[in-house]
Amino acid sequence: MKCRVIVITSGKGGVGKTTITSNLGTAIAQLGKKVCLIDADFGLRNLDLLLGLEQRVVYTIIDALAGECTLEKAIVRDKRTEGLHLLPAAQNRTKEAITPEQMKEVIEELKPNFDYIIVDCPAGIEMGFRNAIVAATEALIVTTPEVAAVRDADRVVGLLESENMQSIRLIVNRLRPEMVQMDEMISVEDILDLLVVPLIGIVPDDKRIITSSNRGEPLVLSKEPSLPGIAIKNIARRLEGMDVPFLDLMAPQDTLFGRIKRFFGVSQK
Amino acid sequence: MIKDILTTISSWGSAKKSRHSAKNRLQLVLANDRAGVNPELIEKMRQEILEVVSRYLDIDVAEMDFSIQSSDRTTSLQANLPIRKIKRTRELK
């Protein structure tokens, strides 16, 4: 089976790239695929923390490149999720510690062993971004319904198009349907109008995203179903080519009861 | 909760919700970003083009529209220069 290399990027920081990466990686592994997540955020690594693997990181991608260990040894296997692996970034180096050529080399070496390699891109459009996109043929752009995030997402889409990225798809994160309903937040349709990039997922805002990151357990692992968890599992299935309809997040807002509740501010999460 | 109700009521009055201004502002800024131009450059261009066209035509400056627009990831410069009348320079001479 051919390995797919996907980069998760956004331009702007703080839109939930790493949270999406950790959950999506877990969700794809849950579908029985062999997944390697690569943290490309050198100096500001966090993917290990969100996956709850921070205590198990011994070597990093830099050590492997320096020949201090094999690439296999640097990879951490997630014991909770069969098939999920992490290649950690170095925390004590800067984004210039590695070149795009080296990154490509590493990914080429990993490819025969995995179904999916997912690269968590750092914020910005400098060297770290170049490193993260170099070997990818597919890109998932994470944005939130905020002006700065949408603008930066557009910039990144432009850059990826000029690099001839084969597939670019959009994830709208942290949507708050009740705010869209009140016309106080740009809607997914608005974002699609502006960016003109095919949509692959809509993830609603939810405080459980924070509690799950506190515990280092991706939300998709939780036995209790949650809307963001389902939304991310749906993205994994769409990546696998399944035709999964989008969750109707606006629906609960449309009932009369919902309107009354919203009017009195009861539905505030 | 009372604050929420107050915000809801007060938002009835304001005709324009923030969603629309966000979208309008983004439309403009994305068009400019994609074209790689800033408002000053557009203004300079507008004046130069107007200068050239005005040599031949009498343009209604108040009604003219000159902007970078973007749809479906193609960006274009749109200029709409309404003509008052064609200058008949020769006849004047």
What would the pLDDT profile of B9-25 be if each residue is shown by its tens digit? 555 555 579 999 999 99
Q: Smallest CA–CA separation between B79 and chain A, in Å?
A: 21
User: Is the Cβ pair B19, A264 closer than 8 Å?
Assistant: no
Give me chain B's average pLDDT, please: 79
Helices (H), A52-143: 61-65, 71-74, 100-110, 127-133
Domain containing residue B64 = 21-84
Q: Smallest CA–CA separation between B15 and chain A, in Å?
A: 11
The reply to whether B8 falls in a domain is no
Domains annotated for chain A, with CATH where assigned, are: 4-263 (3.40.50.300)
User: Cα–Cα distance between A92 and B51 in angstroms, integer?
Assistant: 58
Strand order of the β-sheet with A84-87 is A76-77, A84-87, A35-39, A116-120, A4-9, A138-143, A167-175, A199-204
CB atoms within 10 A of CB A227: 19
Residues B57-68, mean pLDDT to the nearest whole number: 86
Q: Which two tokens stand for residue A134?
A: 């170099």
User: Cα–Cα distance between B62 and B83 in angstroms, integer?
Assistant: 11
DSSP character for A112? Answer: G
Q: Smallest CA–CA separation between A171 and chain B, in Å?
A: 18
Of the candidates B5, B8, B26, the beta carbon closest to that of A147 is on B26
Q: What per-residue confidence (pLDDT) applies to A196?
A: 94
The reply to whether B10 falls in a domain is no
User: Cα–Cα distance between A48 and A38 in angstroms, integer?
Assistant: 10
- Following DSSP, what letter does each residue of B9-74 receive, concatenated? HHHHH-SS-HHHHHHHHHHHHHHHHHHT--HHHHHHHHHHHHHHHHTTEEE-GGG-EEEEEEETTE
User: Is the Cβ pair B17, A182 closer than 8 Å?
Assistant: yes
Q: Smallest CA–CA separation between A31 and chain B, in Å?
A: 35
Q: What per-residue confidence (pLDDT) applies to B1?
A: 58
- The type of residue at A206 is D
Mutate to test the interface with A, among B28, B29, B30 (most CBs of A within 10 A): B30
User: Cα–Cα distance between A64 and A67 in angstroms, integer?
Assistant: 5
**CB contact, 8 Å: B1 with chain A?**
yes
The reply to whether B76 falls in a domain is yes
ipTM of this complex prediction, to 2 decimal places: 0.83
Tell me how many domains chain B contains: 1
User: Is the Cβ pair B20, A183 closer than 8 Å?
Assistant: yes
Cα-based angle A214, A229, A139 (whole degrees, multiple of 5)? 95
Q: What per-residue confidence (pLDDT) applies to A86?
A: 98
> Which helix (DSSP H) or strand (DSSP E) does residue A259 occupy?
helix A256-263
**CB contact, 8 Å: A194 with chain B?**
yes
Q: Provide the residue-wise pLDDT of chain A in tens; the chain has 269 residues.
A: 699 999 999 999 999 999 999 999 999 999 999 999 999 999 899 999 999 999 999 999 999 998 999 999 999 999 999 999 999 999 887 767 899 999 999 999 999 999 999 999 999 999 999 999 999 999 999 999 999 999 999 999 999 999 999 999 999 999 999 999 999 999 999 999 999 999 999 999 999 999 999 999 999 999 999 999 999 999 999 999 999 999 988 876 666 555 555 566 554 43
Q: What per-residue confidence (pLDDT) applies to B35?
A: 84
